[in-house]
Protein backbone atom coordinates (compact mmCIF):
# COMPACT_ATOMS: atom_id res chain seq x y z
CA UNK A 1 0.00 0.00 0.00
CA UNK A 2 0.97 3.64 -0.37
CA UNK A 3 1.74 5.56 2.81
CA UNK A 4 3.09 9.04 3.59
CA UNK A 5 5.75 9.60 6.26
CA UNK A 6 6.79 12.94 7.77
CA UNK A 7 10.51 13.27 7.17
CA UNK A 8 13.35 15.63 8.04
CA UNK A 9 15.31 14.53 4.98
CA UNK A 10 14.87 13.10 1.50
CA UNK A 11 15.66 9.41 2.00
CA UNK A 12 14.65 6.45 4.15
CA UNK A 13 17.56 6.93 6.57
CA UNK A 14 16.21 10.34 7.61
CA UNK A 15 14.44 10.76 10.94
CA UNK A 16 10.69 11.20 11.15
CA UNK A 17 10.12 14.98 11.42
CA UNK A 18 8.83 16.25 14.75
CA UNK A 19 5.87 18.08 13.22
CA UNK A 20 3.10 17.08 10.81
CA UNK A 21 1.74 20.28 9.24
CA UNK A 22 5.14 21.93 8.99
CA UNK A 23 7.23 18.82 8.29
CA UNK A 24 10.09 19.44 5.87
CA UNK A 25 9.19 16.56 3.54
CA UNK A 26 6.68 13.82 3.02
CA UNK A 27 8.11 10.56 1.72
CA UNK A 28 5.34 8.73 -0.13
CA UNK A 29 6.33 5.08 0.05
CA UNK A 30 5.08 1.83 -1.49
CA UNK A 31 5.25 -0.49 1.52
CA UNK A 32 5.82 -3.58 -0.66
CA UNK A 33 8.59 -2.38 -2.97
CA UNK A 34 9.89 0.42 -0.73
CA UNK A 35 9.98 2.68 -3.80
CA UNK A 36 9.39 6.22 -2.68
CA UNK A 37 8.80 9.79 -3.83
CA UNK A 38 10.11 12.89 -2.01
CA UNK A 39 7.52 15.66 -1.68
CA UNK A 40 8.61 19.02 -0.36
CA UNK A 41 6.23 20.63 2.14
CA UNK A 42 7.55 24.21 1.80
CA UNK A 43 4.19 25.83 1.07
CA UNK A 44 2.68 24.59 4.33
CA UNK A 45 5.88 25.27 6.27
CA UNK A 46 5.75 28.91 5.21
CA UNK A 47 2.01 29.43 5.56
CA UNK A 48 0.78 31.47 8.52
CA UNK A 49 -2.37 29.43 9.07
CA UNK A 50 -3.89 26.14 8.01
CA UNK A 51 -0.65 24.21 7.52
CA UNK A 52 -2.06 21.01 9.03
CA UNK A 53 -5.05 21.12 6.71
CA UNK A 54 -2.81 21.92 3.75
CA UNK A 55 -0.57 18.95 4.57
CA UNK A 56 -3.60 16.63 4.61
CA UNK A 57 -4.71 17.99 1.25
CA UNK A 58 -1.22 17.40 -0.10
CA UNK A 59 -0.93 13.74 0.95
CA UNK A 60 -4.57 12.97 0.11
CA UNK A 61 -3.97 14.31 -3.38
CA UNK A 62 -1.00 11.93 -3.72
CA UNK A 63 -3.17 8.94 -2.86
CA UNK A 64 -1.68 8.15 0.55
CA UNK A 65 -3.76 5.51 2.38
CA UNK A 66 -2.15 6.12 5.79
CA UNK A 67 0.29 8.60 7.33
CA UNK A 68 3.10 8.10 9.85
CA UNK A 69 3.52 11.24 11.96
CA UNK A 70 4.96 12.34 15.31
CA UNK A 71 1.71 13.88 16.58
CA UNK A 72 -1.31 15.78 15.23
CA UNK A 73 -2.95 19.09 16.01
CA UNK A 74 -6.77 19.19 16.12
CA UNK A 75 -7.23 20.82 12.71
CA UNK A 76 -5.00 18.23 11.01
CA UNK A 77 -6.75 15.39 12.85
CA UNK A 78 -10.14 16.66 11.68
CA UNK A 79 -9.00 16.96 8.08
CA UNK A 80 -7.51 13.43 8.12
CA UNK A 81 -10.86 12.11 9.35
CA UNK A 82 -12.64 13.84 6.46
CA UNK A 83 -10.09 12.42 4.03
CA UNK A 84 -10.39 8.94 5.64
CA UNK A 85 -6.63 8.63 6.16
CA UNK A 86 -5.57 6.91 9.41
CA UNK A 87 -2.51 8.27 11.24
CA UNK A 88 0.07 6.26 13.21
CA UNK A 89 2.56 7.42 15.84
CA UNK A 90 6.14 7.26 14.57
CA UNK A 91 7.98 10.01 16.41
CA UNK A 92 11.67 9.46 17.18
CA UNK A 93 12.22 6.72 14.56
CA UNK A 94 13.99 6.79 11.22
CA UNK A 95 11.64 6.63 8.24
CA UNK A 96 12.88 3.11 7.40
CA UNK A 97 12.30 1.82 10.96
CA UNK A 98 8.90 3.50 11.08
CA UNK A 99 7.82 1.76 7.86
CA UNK A 100 9.03 -1.63 9.17
CA UNK A 101 7.22 -1.13 12.46
CA UNK A 102 4.07 -0.10 10.57
CA UNK A 103 4.23 -3.25 8.43
CA UNK A 104 4.52 -5.38 11.59
CA UNK A 105 1.44 -3.63 13.05
CA UNK A 106 3.46 -2.21 15.97
CA UNK A 107 2.56 1.46 15.61
CA UNK A 108 -0.35 2.91 17.61
CA UNK A 109 -3.09 5.02 16.04
CA UNK A 110 -2.76 8.76 16.65
CA UNK A 111 -6.40 9.48 16.04
CA UNK A 112 -8.42 6.61 17.44
CA UNK B 1 -22.85 67.78 13.14
CA UNK B 2 -20.27 65.03 12.88
CA UNK B 3 -20.07 63.04 16.13
CA UNK B 4 -16.83 63.27 18.04
CA UNK B 5 -15.34 59.78 18.37
CA UNK B 6 -13.04 59.14 21.34
CA UNK B 7 -11.47 55.71 21.78
CA UNK B 8 -10.15 54.56 25.14
CA UNK B 9 -7.45 51.91 24.78
CA UNK B 10 -4.35 50.48 26.38
CA UNK B 11 -1.72 47.94 25.51
CA UNK B 12 -1.69 46.22 28.85
CA UNK B 13 -4.98 44.79 30.10
CA UNK B 14 -6.32 45.89 33.45
CA UNK B 15 -4.95 49.44 33.31
CA UNK B 16 -8.39 51.05 33.55
CA UNK B 17 -9.96 51.43 30.08
CA UNK B 18 -13.46 50.48 31.22
CA UNK B 19 -13.12 52.57 34.38
CA UNK B 20 -12.28 55.60 32.27
CA UNK B 21 -14.75 54.93 29.44
CA UNK B 22 -17.79 54.36 31.65
CA UNK B 23 -17.16 57.22 34.05
CA UNK B 24 -16.23 59.64 31.29
CA UNK B 25 -19.45 58.77 29.45
CA UNK B 26 -21.47 59.67 32.53
CA UNK B 27 -19.52 62.89 33.11
CA UNK B 28 -19.96 64.06 29.51
CA UNK B 29 -23.63 63.15 29.56
CA UNK B 30 -24.07 65.37 32.64
CA UNK B 31 -22.62 68.27 30.64
CA UNK B 32 -25.77 67.95 28.52
CA UNK B 33 -24.23 66.33 25.51
CA UNK B 34 -25.80 63.28 23.85
CA UNK B 35 -23.43 60.36 24.39
CA UNK B 36 -23.18 56.81 23.10
CA UNK B 37 -20.86 54.46 24.96
CA UNK B 38 -19.65 51.61 22.72
CA UNK B 39 -18.21 48.48 24.31
CA UNK B 40 -15.93 47.03 21.61
CA UNK B 41 -14.28 44.44 23.86
CA UNK B 42 -16.50 41.78 22.30
CA UNK B 43 -14.62 38.85 23.84
CA UNK B 44 -15.19 40.11 27.39
CA UNK B 45 -17.62 43.05 27.42
CA UNK B 46 -18.16 44.56 30.86
CA UNK B 47 -19.35 48.16 30.46
CA UNK B 48 -22.97 47.04 30.91
CA UNK B 49 -22.20 45.78 34.41
CA UNK B 50 -22.09 49.38 35.67
CA UNK B 51 -25.56 50.34 34.45
CA UNK B 52 -29.14 49.26 34.32
CA UNK B 53 -29.50 48.56 30.66
CA UNK B 54 -32.58 47.52 28.72
CA UNK B 55 -31.11 46.03 25.61
CA UNK B 56 -32.36 45.16 22.16
CA UNK B 57 -30.38 42.26 20.71
CA UNK B 58 -29.41 41.69 17.07
CA UNK B 59 -27.57 38.64 15.79
CA UNK B 60 -24.30 39.08 13.86
CA UNK B 61 -23.88 36.61 11.00
CA UNK B 62 -21.25 35.98 8.35
CA UNK B 63 -21.61 34.11 5.05
CA UNK B 64 -19.83 30.76 4.80
CA UNK B 65 -19.65 28.72 1.61
CA UNK B 66 -21.49 25.41 1.46
CA UNK B 67 -21.63 22.70 -1.16
CA UNK B 68 -21.02 21.22 -3.61
CA UNK B 69 -24.64 21.06 -4.68
CA UNK B 70 -23.74 18.55 -7.38
CA UNK B 71 -20.81 16.63 -8.90
CA UNK B 72 -17.61 18.63 -9.25
CA UNK B 73 -15.77 18.33 -12.58
CA UNK B 74 -12.93 15.85 -12.11
CA UNK B 75 -9.66 17.50 -11.08
CA UNK B 76 -11.22 20.96 -10.72
CA UNK B 77 -9.57 23.14 -8.06
CA UNK B 78 -10.99 26.57 -8.96
CA UNK B 79 -12.52 27.28 -5.54
CA UNK B 80 -9.44 26.11 -3.70
CA UNK B 81 -7.14 28.20 -5.89
CA UNK B 82 -9.29 31.32 -5.40
CA UNK B 83 -9.01 31.19 -1.62
CA UNK B 84 -6.21 33.27 -0.09
CA UNK B 85 -6.71 31.74 3.32
CA UNK B 86 -6.55 28.00 2.68
CA UNK B 87 -10.11 27.75 3.99
CA UNK B 88 -11.48 25.58 1.19
CA UNK B 89 -9.57 22.46 0.19
CA UNK B 90 -10.18 19.51 -2.10
CA UNK B 91 -10.36 16.22 -0.19
CA UNK B 92 -11.65 13.02 -1.84
CA UNK B 93 -12.36 15.10 -4.93
CA UNK B 94 -14.81 17.40 -3.13
CA UNK B 95 -14.38 20.89 -1.67
CA UNK B 96 -14.30 20.98 2.14
CA UNK B 97 -14.70 24.30 3.98
CA UNK B 98 -12.78 25.09 7.17
CA UNK B 99 -14.93 27.84 8.76
CA UNK B 100 -12.34 29.14 11.22
CA UNK B 101 -10.00 30.03 8.36
CA UNK B 102 -12.75 31.49 6.15
CA UNK B 103 -12.75 35.29 5.84
CA UNK B 104 -16.23 35.38 4.25
CA UNK B 105 -15.01 37.06 1.06
CA UNK B 106 -17.06 34.93 -1.37
CA UNK B 107 -14.15 34.50 -3.80
CA UNK B 108 -14.59 30.70 -3.98
CA UNK B 109 -18.29 31.01 -4.80
CA UNK B 110 -17.48 33.51 -7.55
CA UNK B 111 -14.66 31.33 -8.90
CA UNK B 112 -16.77 28.17 -9.24
CA UNK B 113 -17.72 27.99 -12.92
CA UNK B 114 -20.04 25.06 -12.23
CA UNK B 115 -22.15 27.09 -9.77
CA UNK B 116 -21.93 24.39 -7.10
CA UNK B 117 -21.17 26.59 -4.09
CA UNK B 118 -23.61 28.77 -2.21
CA UNK B 119 -23.26 31.03 0.82
CA UNK B 120 -25.18 30.42 4.03
CA UNK B 121 -25.21 32.74 7.04
CA UNK B 122 -23.76 31.49 10.28
CA UNK B 123 -24.02 33.25 13.61
CA UNK B 124 -20.80 34.55 15.19
CA UNK B 125 -22.14 36.82 17.93
CA UNK B 126 -24.59 39.57 18.74
CA UNK B 127 -24.90 43.28 19.40
CA UNK B 128 -27.08 44.82 22.11
CA UNK B 129 -28.26 48.40 22.20
CA UNK B 130 -30.38 50.43 24.55
CA UNK B 131 -30.62 53.23 27.08
CA UNK B 132 -28.88 53.23 30.42
CA UNK B 133 -30.29 54.49 33.69
CA UNK B 134 -27.82 57.41 33.37
CA UNK B 135 -29.75 58.62 30.32
CA UNK B 136 -27.37 57.84 27.48
CA UNK B 137 -27.16 54.99 24.98
CA UNK B 138 -24.97 51.95 25.43
CA UNK B 139 -24.13 49.70 22.48
CA UNK B 140 -22.14 46.52 23.05
CA UNK B 141 -21.03 43.48 21.10
CA UNK B 142 -20.38 39.95 22.21
CA UNK B 143 -18.53 37.29 20.23
CA UNK B 144 -19.92 33.77 20.67
CA UNK B 145 -17.69 31.45 22.68
CA UNK B 146 -15.62 29.33 20.28
CA UNK B 147 -15.89 31.73 17.37
CA UNK B 148 -12.92 33.62 15.96
CA UNK B 149 -14.43 36.64 14.22
CA UNK B 150 -13.98 39.42 16.79
CA UNK B 151 -13.39 42.20 14.21
CA UNK B 152 -16.65 41.27 12.44
CA UNK B 153 -18.63 41.68 15.65
CA UNK B 154 -16.74 44.90 16.46
CA UNK B 155 -17.62 46.35 13.04
CA UNK B 156 -21.29 45.44 13.59
CA UNK B 157 -21.18 47.08 17.04
CA UNK B 158 -19.67 50.29 15.67
CA UNK B 159 -22.25 50.41 12.86
CA UNK B 160 -25.07 50.01 15.33
CA UNK B 161 -23.58 52.74 17.53
CA UNK B 162 -23.38 55.05 14.51
CA UNK B 163 -27.17 54.88 14.22
CA UNK B 164 -27.51 56.66 17.58
CA UNK B 165 -26.36 59.99 16.10
CA UNK B 166 -24.94 61.13 19.42
CA UNK B 167 -22.70 64.20 19.75
CA UNK B 168 -20.00 62.21 21.52
CA UNK B 169 -19.12 58.54 20.93
CA UNK B 170 -16.86 56.90 23.50
CA UNK B 171 -15.43 53.55 22.41
CA UNK B 172 -14.12 51.15 25.06
CA UNK B 173 -11.44 49.17 23.21
CA UNK B 174 -10.27 45.61 23.86
CA UNK B 175 -6.74 45.36 25.29
CA UNK B 176 -3.71 45.01 23.06
CA UNK B 177 -2.63 46.18 19.65
CA UNK B 178 -3.89 43.36 17.40
CA UNK B 179 -6.81 42.94 14.96
CA UNK B 180 -9.52 43.63 17.54
CA UNK B 181 -7.88 46.86 18.69
CA UNK B 182 -7.36 48.02 15.09
CA UNK B 183 -11.02 47.31 14.25
CA UNK B 184 -12.03 49.49 17.21
CA UNK B 185 -9.56 52.33 16.66
CA UNK B 186 -9.47 52.95 12.93
CA UNK B 187 -11.30 56.11 11.92
CA UNK B 188 -11.76 57.72 15.33
CA UNK B 189 -10.95 61.34 16.21
CA UNK B 190 -8.77 60.81 19.26
CA UNK B 191 -7.03 57.93 21.01
CA UNK B 192 -6.90 58.14 24.80
CA UNK B 193 -4.33 55.68 26.11
CA UNK B 194 -4.66 54.46 29.68
CA UNK B 195 -1.41 53.46 31.33
CA UNK B 196 0.21 52.93 34.72
CA UNK B 197 3.69 53.66 36.05
CA UNK B 198 5.01 50.11 35.75
CA UNK B 199 7.46 48.44 33.39
CA UNK B 200 4.67 46.47 31.67
CA UNK B 201 2.50 49.58 31.52
CA UNK B 202 5.19 51.56 29.73
CA UNK B 203 6.20 48.72 27.43
CA UNK B 204 2.64 48.16 26.24
CA UNK B 205 2.03 51.93 25.98
CA UNK B 206 4.90 52.10 23.50
CA UNK B 207 3.21 49.43 21.35
CA UNK B 208 -0.04 51.40 21.38
CA UNK B 209 1.73 54.65 20.47
CA UNK B 210 3.23 52.85 17.47
CA UNK B 211 -0.24 51.61 16.50
CA UNK B 212 -1.75 55.05 16.96
CA UNK B 213 0.90 56.60 14.73
CA UNK B 214 0.32 53.90 12.13
CA UNK B 215 -3.39 54.75 12.14
CA UNK B 216 -2.68 58.50 12.05
CA UNK B 217 -4.54 59.22 15.30
CA UNK B 218 -4.06 62.19 17.61
CA UNK B 219 -3.22 60.74 21.04
CA UNK B 220 -3.16 61.57 24.72
CA UNK B 221 -2.29 59.58 27.82
CA UNK B 222 -4.04 59.22 31.14
CA UNK B 223 -1.97 57.75 33.96
CA UNK B 224 -4.02 55.53 36.24
CA UNK B 225 -3.01 54.43 39.75
CA UNK B 226 -0.73 57.47 39.79
CA UNK B 227 1.57 57.37 42.78
CA UNK B 228 2.19 53.64 42.65
CA UNK B 229 4.89 52.19 40.43
CA UNK B 230 8.31 53.66 39.79
CA UNK B 231 8.44 54.20 36.03
CA UNK B 232 8.55 57.78 34.74
CA UNK B 233 5.70 57.87 32.20
CA UNK B 234 5.96 61.67 31.99
CA UNK B 235 9.54 61.47 30.73
CA UNK B 236 8.51 59.03 27.98
CA UNK B 237 5.53 61.17 26.95
CA UNK B 238 7.65 64.31 26.89
CA UNK B 239 10.26 62.65 24.66
CA UNK B 240 7.56 61.37 22.31
CA UNK B 241 5.55 64.58 22.21
CA UNK B 242 2.38 62.97 23.59
CA UNK B 243 0.36 65.01 26.08
CA UNK B 244 -0.61 63.62 29.46
CA UNK B 245 -4.25 64.68 29.63
CA UNK B 246 -5.03 63.39 33.10
CA UNK B 247 -4.02 61.37 36.14
CA UNK B 248 -6.11 59.20 38.43
CA UNK B 249 -4.55 58.63 41.84
CA UNK B 250 -3.74 55.27 43.36
CA UNK B 251 -6.68 55.04 45.74
CA UNK B 252 -8.01 51.82 47.21
CA UNK B 253 -11.47 53.32 47.36
CA UNK B 254 -11.56 53.45 43.56
CA UNK B 255 -10.74 49.76 43.30
CA UNK B 256 -13.28 48.85 45.98
CA UNK B 257 -16.07 50.79 44.25
CA UNK B 258 -15.19 49.39 40.83
CA UNK B 259 -15.20 45.85 42.18
CA UNK B 260 -18.75 46.43 43.42
CA UNK B 261 -19.86 47.62 40.00
CA UNK B 262 -20.21 51.23 41.08
CA UNK B 263 -19.42 54.32 39.08
CA UNK B 264 -16.63 56.46 40.52
CA UNK B 265 -18.43 59.64 39.46
CA UNK B 266 -21.38 58.61 41.64
CA UNK B 267 -19.74 57.04 44.65
CA UNK B 268 -16.33 58.67 45.18
CA UNK B 269 -16.25 62.22 46.62
CA UNK B 270 -13.77 63.42 43.99
CA UNK B 271 -15.00 61.24 41.12
CA UNK B 272 -17.21 63.80 39.42
CA UNK B 273 -14.44 66.40 39.45
CA UNK B 274 -11.79 64.04 38.04
CA UNK B 275 -13.85 63.09 35.04
CA UNK B 276 -15.27 66.51 34.19
CA UNK B 277 -11.69 67.83 34.33
CA UNK B 278 -10.57 65.00 32.08
CA UNK B 279 -13.24 65.95 29.57
CA UNK B 280 -12.22 69.64 29.69
CA UNK B 281 -8.64 68.59 29.07
CA UNK B 282 -9.69 66.43 26.13
CA UNK B 283 -12.41 68.38 24.40
CA UNK B 284 -10.42 71.30 23.01
CA UNK B 285 -7.54 69.02 22.01
CA UNK B 286 -9.91 66.76 20.11
CA UNK B 287 -11.67 69.61 18.32
CA UNK B 288 -8.29 71.14 17.38
CA UNK B 289 -7.14 67.82 15.99
CA UNK B 290 -10.33 67.00 14.08
CA UNK B 291 -9.87 69.05 10.87
CA UNK B 292 -6.61 67.16 10.24
CA UNK B 293 -8.46 63.82 10.09
CA UNK B 294 -9.74 63.22 6.59
CA UNK B 295 -13.36 62.17 6.33
CA UNK B 296 -14.06 58.60 5.22
Q: Which of B81, B92, B97, B98 to mutate to test the interface with A (most CBs of A within 10 A)?
A: B98
Measured between CA atoms, the residue of chain A closest to residue B89 is A57
- The pLDDT value recorded for residue A112 is 65
What confidence tens digit (pLDDT) does each residue in B51-71 have?
999 999 999 999 999 989 999
User: Which chain B residues contact residue A83 at CB under 8 A?
Assistant: 91-92
Over residues A80-92, mean pLDDT: 95
Distance from CA of B86 to the nearest CA of A (A): 6
User: Which chain B residues contact residue A56 at CB under 8 A?
Assistant: 89, 91
Q: Chain B contact for A57, CB < 8 A? A: yes
Distance from CA of A63 to the nearest CA of B (A): 9
In angstroms, the Cα distances linking B193 to A76, B12, B254, B294 are 40, 10, 19, 22
The answer to ipTM > 0.95 is: no
What confidence tens digit (pLDDT) does each residue in A37-80 have?
999 999 999 988 889 999 999 999 999 999 999 999 999 999 99
**A47: nearest CB among B86, B89, B100:** B86
Listed by number, the residues of chain B in 59-118 with a beta carbon closer than 8 Å to a beta carbon of chain A are: 80, 85-87, 89-92, 96, 98, 100-101
The phi-psi region of residue B146 (left if phi > 0; otherwise alpha if psi is between -120 and 50; otherwise beta) is: left
- The pLDDT value recorded for residue B12 is 86
Listed by number, the residues of chain B in 168-197 with a beta carbon closer than 8 Å to a beta carbon of chain A are: none
User: Which chain A residues contact residue B90 at CB under 8 A?
Assistant: 57, 61
DSSP chain B: -PPEEEEEE-SSTTSSHHHHHHHHHHHHHTTT--EEEEE--TTS--GGGGS-EEEEEEEEEEEEEE--SSPPPTT--HHHHH-SSS-EEEETTEEEE-TTT-----HHHHH-TT---EEEEEEEEEEEEEEETTSSEEEEEEEPTT---HHHHHHHHHHHHHTT--SEEEEEPPSSSSHHHHHHHTT-SEEEEEE-SSHHHHHHHHHHHHHHHHTT--EEEEEEEETSS---HHHHHHHHT--EEEEEE--HHHHHHHHTT--HHHHSTTHHHHHHHHHHHHHHHHHHHGGGSPP-
What's the whole-model pTM score? 0.84
Q: Chain B contact for A53, CB < 8 A? A: yes
What confidence tens digit (pLDDT) does each residue in B15-51 have?
999 999 999 999 999 999 999 999 999 999 999 999 9
At B288, is the pLDDT very low, low, confident or very high (cuts 50, 70, 90)?
confident
Contact B178, B207 (CB under 8 A): no
Chain A and chain B share a number of CB contacts under 8 A equal to 36
Contact B92 A53 (CB under 8 A): no
> Is the model's pLDDT at B294 over the cut of 60?
no
What confidence tens digit (pLDDT) does each residue in A5-40 have?
999 999 999 999 999 999 999 999 999 999 999 999
Q: What percent of chain A lies above the pLDDT cut of 70? A: 99
Measured between CA atoms, the residue of chain B closest to residue A84 is B92
- The pLDDT value recorded for residue A93 is 95
- The pLDDT value recorded for residue B291 is 65
Contact A60 B91 (CB under 8 A): yes
Q: Chain B contact for A83, CB < 8 A? A: yes
Mean pLDDT, all residues of chain B: 94
User: Which chain B residues contact residue A82 at CB under 8 A?
Assistant: 91-92, 96
Q: Chain B contact for A47, CB < 8 A? A: yes
Contact B89 A56 (CB under 8 A): yes
Q: Chain B contact for A49, CB < 8 A? A: yes
Least confident segment among B19-28, B84-93, B105-114, B129-138: B84-93
User: Which chain A residues contact residue B100 at CB under 8 A?
Assistant: 75
Q: Chain B contact for A62, CB < 8 A? A: no
> Is the model's pLDDT at B1 over the cut of 80?
no
Contact B91 A82 (CB under 8 A): yes
**B98: nearest CB among A47, A50, A60:** A50
Over residues B105-125, mean pLDDT: 96
What confidence tens digit (pLDDT) does each residue in B234-284 have?
999 999 999 999 999 999 999 999 999 999 999 999 999 999 999 999 998
Amino acid sequence: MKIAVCSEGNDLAAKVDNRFGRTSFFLVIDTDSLDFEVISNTENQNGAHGSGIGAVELIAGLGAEAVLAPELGPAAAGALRIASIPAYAAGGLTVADAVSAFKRGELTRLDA
Amino acid sequence: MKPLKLAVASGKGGTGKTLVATNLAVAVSRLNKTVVLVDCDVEAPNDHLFFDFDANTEVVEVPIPEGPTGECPRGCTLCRDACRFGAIRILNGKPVVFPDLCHNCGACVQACTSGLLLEVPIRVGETRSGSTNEGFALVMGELDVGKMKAPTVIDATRSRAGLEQAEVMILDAPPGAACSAVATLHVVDFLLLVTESTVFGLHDLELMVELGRGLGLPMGVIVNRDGSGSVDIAAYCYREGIPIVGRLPFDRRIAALYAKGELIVNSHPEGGEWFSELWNSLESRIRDAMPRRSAV
